[in-house]
Amino acid sequence: MTHTESSSQPMPPRRKFMRHALALAGSAQAATLATPAHSAPIGSALPAHQRNPGGTDTSYGQPATAEAAVVRTESKEAGFSVWRTPLQHQRGIITPGGLHFAVHHNGIPDIDPARHQLMLHGLVDRPLRLDWERLQRYPMVSKVHFLECAGNSAANALSPFAMDLPLGQLAGEVSCSEWTGIPLSLLMDEARPQPSAQWVIAEGADAGSHARSLPLQALRQHGMLALYQNGERLRPSQGYPMRLFVPGWEGNANVKWLHRLEFSDIPAHTKDESGLYTQVLSDGRIQRFALTMEVKSVITRPSGQQTLPSPRGHYEIEGLAWSGRGRIAHVEVSVDGGRSWTAAILHGPVLDRSFTRFTLPWQWQGQKAVLMSRATDEQGHTQPTRSTWKGRYAAHSFNHYNAIQAWAVDRDGRVENCYA
């Protein structure tokens, strides 16, 4: 709510870098990473790919075959199909379309885009029915935003011991894309909601008709009917041919395969919004319609199940931070389990409700270390420790987990999830 940290703001990036580098490098000598080249001249034995013309391209590009391990991992949870982004492989803020996380409560519907329609109805003066031909004539906006499932990081919230998993499998229900679509205000104003309309019930065209009740004013102000993702039409997995997108709101509010917006004076209290998407607090109270995802960050390298390749030397700690409440103001990194913290370098663009990339140089001396990152957003919200987070919620609660992620580095360089 308040700006608690404003002192660390303007310092030129270069000076900032030097200060951090010296703080963490621990020695004055410059780090060298490259091995010296030996004396054989380049070109003395040309590889086959330089002697013969190469292969052909494909009509829709694919990643290099050697990158076959960079894939989403699937698990079934409570009957849902959950596909997680391998965040440990992502560099930069945009998640490739094929690696976007996905949660399907009842599979992916096979929708004919030529027949799909969106209806706005209920407490409106002018009910609307819109098809693709009509929708693509509206002005569109493009914005880079993260999307995160309310249940992301549930394993860390619930498991009494830290599960030894790669980052993607621990916290990969979050991705970031450029979304392009029609501001909902344009469609809503055309439908002319009546004064008594306070809620909008958004429903998807999948089996089970996933539906959420959303507060009308906030939805009108921030919501988008998303039609494109990273420059191409939505992937079937992301809601083709159209989805609701509200930056910063928990995943399930972003109804995929959207076909209906019903204006109402009261929320529908759909099954999932009265059960799964409520949070039970430690004092027994229940939080409903808590839609905003809180500030969070993860170190992507080094992270779970990676191994530092040599026993000591220069490393670049790297990660991603995001908040449903605005821009990331700063990220601090600790290499000693939270005893001391150093400001990381934020790499631009630092966008509203988007992934923000951060790095910090680190000189590892081969000792045991615990790496942590702690993000603060422009509203002054900071990530809690795991024990503070656990103290806030009932023991079985797992939604909206945003506690500090810790990685233990062993003497042999192996990195493992830990609670610190």
Residues binding Mo ion (CB under 5 A) = 103, 149, 251-252
Q: Which is nearer to ligand MTE, 237 or 402 (CB)?
A: 237
Q: How many residues bind ligand MTE (CB under 6 A)?
A: 19
403 binds, among Mo ion, ligand MTE, none (CB under 5 to 8 A by kind): none
Q: State yes or no: residue 233 binds ligand MTE (CB under 6 A).
A: no
Which candidate, 141, 149, 98, 187, places its Cα nearest to that of 352? 141
In angstroms, the CA 32 to CA 27 distance is 13
The number of C-alpha atoms within 13 Å of 81 and in the hemisphere containing its C-beta is 8
238 binds, among ligand MTE, Mo ion, none (CB under 5 to 8 A by kind): ligand MTE
Q: Which is nearer to ligand MTE, 262 or 318 (CB)?
A: 262
Q: What is the dihedral of CA 227, 230, 235, 237, to 10 degrees?
A: -100
Beta carbons within 8 Å of 57's beta carbon, 6+ residues apart:
none
Q: Are strands 128-131 and 117-122 parallel, antiparallel or unpaired?
A: antiparallel
In whole angstroms, how close is the CB of 99 to Mo ion at the nearest point? 17
Quick note: the x/- pattern for ligand MTE over 46-85, rule CB under 6 A, is ----------------------------------------
Residue among 20, 72, 84, 100 that touches ligand MTE (CB under 6 A): 100
The string of DSSP letters for 185-198 reads HHHHHHH-B-TT--
Stretch that binds ligand MTE, among 58-66, 95-103, 344-352, 356-364 (CB under 6 A): 95-103
Beta carbons within 8 Å of 32's beta carbon, 6+ residues apart:
314
In whole angstroms, how close is the CB of 96 to ligand MTE at the nearest point? 13
In whole angstroms, how close is the CB of 293 to Mo ion at the nearest point? 11
Q: State yes or no: residue 386 binds ligand MTE (CB under 6 A).
A: no
In angstroms, the CA 208 to CA 187 distance is 26
* 45 beta partners: none
Stretch that binds ligand MTE, among 53-61, 185-193, 202-210, 260-268 (CB under 6 A): 202-210
Angle among Cα 112, 201, 234 to the nearest 5 degrees reads: 35
Site for ligand MTE in 130-169 (CB under 6 A): 147, 149
224 binds, among ligand MTE, Mo ion, none (CB under 5 to 8 A by kind): none
In whole angstroms, how close is the CB of 166 to Mo ion at the nearest point? 20
Strand (E) positions, 220-341?
A: 224-229, 232-233, 243-245, 258-264, 279-280, 286-287, 296-301, 313-322, 328-334
210 binds, among ligand MTE, Mo ion, none (CB under 5 to 8 A by kind): ligand MTE
Q: State yes or no: residue 400 binds ligand MTE (CB under 6 A).
A: no
Which candidate, 278, 355, 361, places its Cα nearest to that of 315? 361
In whole angstroms, how close is the CB of 251 to ligand MTE at the nearest point? 2
For the chain, the C-alpha Rg in angstroms (whole number) is 24
Q: State yes or no: residue 230 binds ligand MTE (CB under 6 A).
A: no
Q: State yes or no: residue 99 binds ligand MTE (CB under 6 A).
A: no
In angstroms, the CA 43 to CA 50 distance is 10
Q: State yes or no: residue 238 binds ligand MTE (CB under 6 A).
A: yes
Dihedral sign for Cα atoms in the order 213, 216, 217, 221: positive
Q: Which residues bind ligand MTE (CB under 6 A)?
A: 100-105, 147, 149, 204, 206, 210, 237-238, 251-252, 254-257
